[in-house]
Structure 1
Amino acid sequence: MNDDAEPRLPGWLDLALTIVMALAAVGTAWAGFQSAKWSGLQAISFAEAGAARTESAKAATDAGQDRLKDLVAFTSWIGALQEEIIAGTTPRPAGDYAPNPDEVSGFLYERFRPEFKPAVDAWVATQPMVNPNAPATPFEMPEYRLESEALAADLVAKAEAATAEAHEDNQRSDNYVFMAVILALALFFAGVAGRTRTRRSQWLLSGAAFATFIGAAVVILTLPKTF
């Protein structure tokens, strides 16, 4: 017997390492597939976030324009109403204002935006002409709500949620890449185990192969999956 001959692995251990190598190869392919899928979902989520932010900016611009329209309309109406009160053609509102279509103030009042008119009505009901505790303008009333402003806020929330989802997808992709590296180590340990010159090295490398493979397999089984 040649003392320099490399010790052979027991048959059962050689078979176990072969199975580990086969499963590790399959696991590596699976991890690569999952990583690519999660990377694709990450790109989709980032695209959705960008689209939502663009739409949010547009809605915010619309809200600013609507607010400016309301401000100009209110300023024109209150100016015309004051002139008519001074001229005696329109009575001073005391909580029961009724627009006079024959006067400029009535003409302007009837052309308030539908979103703005409820706030003006609620403001007039507080008797601002005689009540010093009334809000200064309808813009301070809870009835003053802009649909475009609410839409902008909703879109911002949607964009933030999509961005958070993209970051989660990116982390999932990274986790699968890391598991692929661990499985590659299991393949390396299993492949080298049968080529070492000492029995101790064979057992150590075999143990390392089993440990890294089992650890990676357990983690992969717990990771979220997509198809």
Structure 2
Amino acid sequence: MEDEAEPGHRLDLVLTVVMALAAVGTAWAGFESTKWGGVQANAYAEAGAVRAEAGRAANRAGQQRIRDAVNFTSWLEALNQDLLAGKITRPSGDYTPTPGTLSGFLYERFRPGFEPVIKAWVATKPLVNPNAPATPFDLDAYQLPDEDRAADLNAQADALAHEAQSANQRGDNYVLTAVIFALVLFFAGVAGRARVARTRFALAGLAVVALVAAIVTLATFPVEI
């Protein structure tokens, strides 16, 4: 009788160990899923803040571009009037503002970052060269710091959003592993109550296989502490 009962006792011991490991695995998977959920939320929040700052920088750049365009148009119109009035000579590769003229007055009020672009555009001789850029805004030299900052911030926001998506996937992976551990507990629990020995061993085998698969899978996941 003792020999017949021995396999059953050993199986009960195995099932107890399996259920204990599955319970620990479930708790760990749930903990990691929560931690990665926090990483996801923080990354999305930071991405939103960075993207908002990018929007503000883009708005400033747009406003600066409009001001530059208005100032350039006003200067070009004043330059034409001064040319017609004989107050200045036609620019031919360079330009020096003439004191006492409207065009000179407007030129000296270009923002510091825009004046070199105007000089580079005048150097292309747009009044006589048909291949010259139509406006200074077509030159590579025309740069707006806020526009570059907006592009950099948007790239940062995209990277943070990608990080959040990765964290979300990792959290989902841990949840799936917790489901597998739950199946282990289910198979082990049913095996412990089964009356037929063959059924008990079959369910116990399923529980052990599922447990090993879950533990191996869990070991491949990144850990967030």
Check whether TM > 0.5: yes
Match of 1:191 among 189, 192, 199: 189
Q: 2 CA distance for matches of 1:167 and 1:134?
A: 47
SS in 2 for 1:194: helix
Match of 2:64 among 63, 66, 71: 66
Q: 1 CA distance for matches of 2:148 and 2:206?
A: 58
Root-mean-square deviation (CA), in Å? 1.7
Shift of 1:13: 3.0
Shift of 1:17: 2.0
Shift of 1:23: 1.2
Taking only the aligned residue pairs, the percentage that are identical comes to 57
Q: 2 CA distance for matches of 1:15 and 1:118?
A: 84
Shift of 1:134: 0.8
How many pairs were matched up? 223
Shift of 1:208: 0.7
1:13-162 correspondence to structure 2 within 5 Å: 13-162=11-160
User: What stretches of structure 1 move > 6 A for 4+ residues in a row?
Assistant: none
Which piece of structure 1 moves more, 11-20 or 209-218?
A: 11-20
Shift of 1:153: 1.5
Q: Render the CA deviation track for 1:99-127: whole Å, top value 9, x for unaligned.
A: 12332212211211222222111100001
Q: Render the CA deviation track for 1:144-168: whole Å, top value 9, x for unaligned.
A: 1111111112222222222121111
1:179-218 correspondence to structure 2 within 5 Å: 179-218=177-216
Report the TM-score, using the length of structure 1 for normalisation. 0.93
Q: 2 CA distance for matches of 1:160 and 1:9?
A: 59
Report the TM-score, using the length of structure 2 for normalisation. 0.93
Q: Which amino acid aligns with 1:60?
A: A
Q: Which amino acid aligns with 1:107?
A: F
